[in-house]
């Protein structure tokens, strides 16, 4: 049982680190789209993309956890 528990902890830590990297990448992408939206709204693509990305904000349970950690 201890080995299983240790394996799960290792996997959780790996996923946590991966989630952190993905969160940072997504933040950079969103900021870039926001810049495009204000500097060159080509066929509405930046706005549509931002809206699509932000539409998932409430669907992710980890977003609530991130918001709580920021406080």
- State if pTM tops 0.85: no
Whether the Cβ atoms of residue 10 and residue 53 lie closer than 8 Å to each other = no
Residues 14 and 44: their CA atoms lie apart, in Å, by: 37
Confidence band, pLDDT 50/70/90 cuts, at residue 62? low
- Model confidence over 6-31: pLDDT tens digits? 999 999 999 999 998 888 888 888 88
Q: How far apart are CA 52 and CA 49, in angstroms?
A: 5
């Amino acid at each position: 049982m201890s080995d299983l528990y240790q394996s799960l902890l290792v996997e959780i830590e790996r996923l946590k680190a991966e989630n952190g990297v993905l969160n940072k990448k997504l933040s950079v992408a969103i900021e870039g789209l926001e810049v495009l939206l204000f500097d060159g709204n080509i066929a509405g693509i930046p706005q549509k993309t931002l809206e699509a990305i932000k539409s998932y904000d409430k669907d992710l349970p980890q977003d609530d956890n991130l918001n709580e950690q920021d406080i």
